[in-house]
Amino acid sequence: MAKHVTVIGGGIVGVCAALALQREGHDVVIVERDGPGENCSFGNAGIICGRDSSIPLPSPGVIRDVPAMLFDREGALVIRWRYLLSIMPWLIGFLKSSTPERQLAGARAMYALLDGTTGAYDRIAAGSPAAALIRKNGYMTVYESESGFAGDSRERGMLRDLGCPMSELGPDEIRQMEPSLSHEIRHALYYPESYSTTNPYRLTRLLADDFVAGGGTLALAEVTGLQHGNGRVTGMETTAGPMKVENLVVAAGAWSHWVAAMMGLKVLLDTERGYHMVFHGVKTGLTRAIIHADGHYGVNQLDEGLRFAGTVELAGVEAAPDYRRADLIYGRGRKLLRDFDPAQATEVTRWMGRRPTMPDYLPALGAAPGFSNTWFDFGHQHLGLSLAARCGFVVADLVGGRDPGLDLTAFRPDRF
C-alpha cells in the first residue's frame, strides 16, 4: 500500500532512500536544509566499496596506535583537545568495540550489508544519467612500506576468511594496471567488485533530479522540531513552516543525533571530519580510485580534476575547518602519481566534510526505538557513498513491512 514518507536529509543516503521508496509507489518528501549533496556527500573520495571494507576500524591494533597518533599534529588522526570531554562517551564506546570478538562480529554484519552495494547502485542508477558517473573497475589499496603492508596482515586475513574477492599485486602487476603510480609502491590489494564515481556531488544531484522527475518533493528547509506521541512522529517544525508526518526516515548524516533528540532519543553518534584538496583541470592516467594505506588518504581522478581526500579530525560538528589538514593530505600524496603536475591546475580548492560515525563503525539502520512509523538510516562513517543505495533498499523493505533478508541486529540504533 502506498504511504506518505518524509525523509530528513538530502545527502546521498537520504536521496537513495527516497528513490528506493518512490520506486515502490510511495509518496515521498525530502526535507533538506542546504541542498542535495552539499554536505558530506559533496567531497568524498568517490569509492563505492564492496565487501572489502567490512572490517570495522576499532581493533586491538588501532587502540595500541591511537595514543601516539593523537599526539602527532601531522598524523592521520587528530583530536581538538577542547572537544575531548564532549566526545568521551563516544571514545569509550570505541574502546569497548575494539576487542577481537566485537570487531569480528561487526565484520560479519558489515560483510552481509556490503554484499550488494554495487548491485544496489546498478538498480538505483538504472536509466539515469547518474549511471555515466559510475566506473566499474574496482579500486586498489597501495602500500609504500613493507611495515605498512605487514601491519595490515590481520585485517587481510579476516577479509580472506570471510571470502572477500581480492588479489595481492606485486610491483609489475601494479605498474601494468596503473602505470601512473609511483615506483615506490611495492604492494597493492585489488578489489575487483567495487565501483567508484567520477563525481560524488553530481551523482547525488542527478539522483535527486531523478527523484523530483519521478514526482517526489524536495523541500529546502531545516527541521527544527518534531511532534510525537504514542510511539509515532506526527509532525515537524521547519524553517518553511509546519509539516505533517505520516512516516519518517531520518537520514540527516552527522546531524542525525540532533534529530533523534527531537524525538526524545539519545544516539551515540559523532563525527569524524575529513578533508579534501582538488586540483581542478588536472588529468592524470589514473583509471581507478586508490587508497594509500600508509598515508591514510585516497586519490581519485574525477571529471573535474584530481582529488586527494582523507584524514580524521575529532572536533564535533560545529568547529571551524582547519584546512591545514587538507594540505597535509596533499603533502603526503603529491608524489604518488608520476604524471601529476600541480602546475596544470586551473584552481585548487580545499573542503571539510563531516562523516557521521557510531563508536563501533556500524551504521544505525532500522526502526527508531519505541516508534512504529520512524526508521533511522545514518552513521555510515567512511562508507556512506558505498552504503547509500543498499541501505535505501533496506529502508524501503522496512517501511513496506517486508523482511529485508538481512539480520539488522548489529545495526540497532540503541545498541549504545
Range in contact with ligand FAD (rule: CB under 6 A) among 91-99, 240-248, 378-386, 393-401: 378-386
Separation between Cα atoms, residue 188 and residue 118, nearest integer Å: 22
Q: By CB under 6 A, is residue 313 in contact with ligand FAD?
A: no
Residue found under cell 527508531: 368
Q: 277: which 3 cell numbers?
A: 584538496
Q: By CB under 6 A, is residue 374 in contact with ligand FAD?
A: no
Q: By CB under 6 A, is residue 257 in contact with ligand FAD?
A: no
User: Contact letters (x/-) for ligand FAD, 171-210, by CB under 6 A?
Assistant: ----------------------------------------
Single out the residue of 56, 93, 216, 253 in contact with ligand FAD (rule: CB under 6 A). Answer: 253
Q: By CB under 6 A, is residue 45 in contact with ligand FAD?
A: yes
* Contacts of ligand FAD in 81-140 (CB under 6 A): none
Single out the residue of 46, 305, 366, 413 in contact with ligand FAD (rule: CB under 6 A). Answer: 46
Separation between Cα atoms, residue 40 and residue 273, nearest integer Å: 9
CA-nearest of 415, 28, 38 to 254 is 38
Q: By CB under 6 A, is residue 8 in contact with ligand FAD?
A: yes
Q: By CB under 6 A, is residue 392 in contact with ligand FAD?
A: no
Single out the residue of 223, 245, 267, 302 in contact with ligand FAD (rule: CB under 6 A). Answer: 223
Q: Least distance in Å: CB of 269 to ligand FAD?
A: 10
CA-nearest of 5, 63, 3, 13 to 254 is 13
Element (H, E) at 249: strand 247-250
Q: By CB under 6 A, is residue 159 in contact with ligand FAD?
A: no
Considering just the CA atoms, what is the radius of gyration of the chain in Å?
Answer: 20
Range in contact with ligand FAD (rule: CB under 6 A) among 6-14, 55-63, 72-80, 317-325: 6-14
* Contacts of ligand FAD in 13-42 (CB under 6 A): 13-14, 31-34, 38-41
Say which DSSP state 181 is in. Answer: B
Q: 115: which 3 cell numbers?
A: 554484499
Q: By CB under 6 A, is residue 295 in contact with ligand FAD?
A: no
Q: Which is nearer to ligand FAD, 38 or 171 (CB)?
A: 38
Q: Which is nearer to ligand FAD, 93 or 379 (CB)?
A: 379
Cβ proximity of 238 and 9 under 8 Å: no
Q: By CB under 6 A, is residue 216 in contact with ligand FAD?
A: no
Separation between Cα atoms, residue 308 and residue 332, nearest integer Å: 10
CA 17 to each of CA 8, 207, 310, 336: distance values in angstroms, whole numbers, following the listed order = 10, 11, 26, 36
Q: Amino acid identity, residue 308?
A: F
Q: By CB under 6 A, is residue 58 in contact with ligand FAD?
A: no
Q: Give the interface size with ligand FAD as a residue count (CB under 6 A).
A: 45
Residue found under cell 538505483: 124
Sign of the CA dihedral running 218, 219, 224, 230: negative
Single out the residue of 51, 307, 332, 382 in contact with ligand FAD (rule: CB under 6 A). Answer: 382
Q: Amino acid identity, residue 20?
A: A
Q: Which is nearer to ligand FAD, 188 or 223 (CB)?
A: 223
Q: By CB under 6 A, is residue 274 in contact with ligand FAD?
A: yes
Separation between Cα atoms, residue 235 and residue 75, nearest integer Å: 45
Range in contact with ligand FAD (rule: CB under 6 A) among 45-53, 128-136, 142-150, 389-397: 45-53
Range in contact with ligand FAD (rule: CB under 6 A) among 95-103, 155-163, 186-194, 248-256: 248-256
Strand locations in 336-393 (E): 347-357, 364-367, 374-378
Buried/exposed 317-343: b ≥16 CB within 10 Å, e otherwise: eeeeebeebbebbbebbeebbeebeee
Q: Compute, in degrees rounded to 10, the torsion defined by CA atoms 108, 17, 277, 268.
A: -60
Q: Which is nearer to ligand FAD, 251 or 315 (CB)?
A: 251
Residues lying near ligand FAD in the complex (CB under 6 A) are found at 8-14, 31-34, 38-41, 44-47, 49, 222-223, 251-255, 259, 274-276, 298, 309-310, 353, 355-356, 378, 380-386
